[in-house]
Amino acid sequence: MSKILIVEDENMLLEMMCAYLQAQDYETAGAKSYDDALNLAYESNFDLWIFDVKIIGGSGFALLGELRNAGKNTPCIFTTSLNTLDDVQTGFTSGCDDYIKKPFELKELHLRVQNLLKRTFVHNKNELVNLGENLGFDMNQGLLFRDGKAVSMPKKQSRLLALLLKNQDKFLSREEIYSQIWDYDESPSELSLRVYIAELRKILGKERIVSASKLGYKYV
C-alpha cells in the first residue's frame, strides 16, 4: 500500500482528500503547517507528497525546496489556487513533479497520483533487485515494490534489507549490522533488530533470511 503525505491548511479539504485516497487503497497522513509537514516528511517514508502552496507557517514551495536540499527525492504534486505562469515555474523549479490547480475534482487528483506513482516505478524498474513473488527492491531509493506499487517500511528496516542484499549469501554479524543501520548518536537494540528481521521474513518469506547464533544474518 502506497503511503501519501498531504499538506493542506483548509481542514475540510484536507479531510476530504485523505478520506478519498484512503478509499482508493492508499495510506495517508495529513498536516496543515510547515513544521508539522517537515517533521512527518523526515520521520516517515512516503511514496508521494501532495503539498498545498499556501500553508500555515510558510509555503509549499519553500517546504519542498528544503526537503530537496536535504536529499529527499519523493515525488511531489502541488495543489494551489495560484495560476500564473510564474507560480507554475516556481513550483517546478522547487522540485515538484506535477501541478494541479484549485478547485479540482478528487478523481482528477487520484488520476495524477496513479500516474506519478506508476511513472516513478517505471523510471526505476531497471534499478530494482528482483526478490521473486512480484517483489522488487530499489537499492538507490531504499524502496520495496510489490506488483509495481511501493510498500511502506521503516527507514531502518529498509536499510537492513539493502545491507543484506548487498552482502547476499554472506553472514553479517550483529555488530556489522548495528554499525550500518543505526546512526552514530543512537543506541543499537537487539530487540529492534529481531523485530525488523521478523517483519522482513513476513514480506520475503522465512527461508530468505537465515540466522545463526554466532554468525548473524544473511539473505539467500
Q: Is residue 148 part of a domain?
A: no
- What is the value of pTM for the model shown? 0.56
Average pLDDT along the chain? 86
Are 28 and 119 within one domain?
yes
Q: Same structural domain for residues 101 and 33? A: yes
159 and 115 inside one domain = no
Whether residues 120 and 24 fall in one domain: yes
Answer yes or no: do 197 and 92 share one domain: no
Q: Summarize pLDDT for 157-201 with one digit per residue, the tens.
A: 988 999 999 888 889 999 999 988 887 677 888 888 999 999 999
Structural domain ending residue among the three candidates 103, 124, 145: 124
Q: Which residues contact 218 (CB under 8 A, 6 or more apart)?
A: 164, 167, 168, 169, 170, 171, 172, 209, 210
Does 54 share its domain with 114? yes
Domain of 196?
154-219
CATH of the domain at 194: 1.10.10.10
Select the more confidently predicted residue: 47 or 119: 47
Percent of the chain scored above 70 by pLDDT?
94
Cis peptide before 103 (omega within 30 of 0): yes
Q: Write down the pLDDT at residue 123.
A: 47
The span from the CA of 54 to the CA of 63, in Å, is 10
- Closest residue by Cα to residue 51 from 27, 32, 66, 70: 32
Helix intervals (H) in 30-135: 34-43, 60-69, 85-93, 106-124
- The per-residue pLDDT for range 120-134, each reduced to its tens digit, is 554 444 467 888 778
Domains of the chain: total: 2
Q: Is the CB of residue 48 less than 8 Å from the CB of residue 77?
A: yes
Domain boundary among 102, 124, 146: 124
As a whole number of angstroms, the distance between CA 153 and CA 144 comes to: 8
Cβ atoms of 48 and 117 within 8 Å: the answer is: yes
In a domain, 131, yes or no: no
Residue 185's CB: how many other CB atoms inside 10 A?
Answer: 5
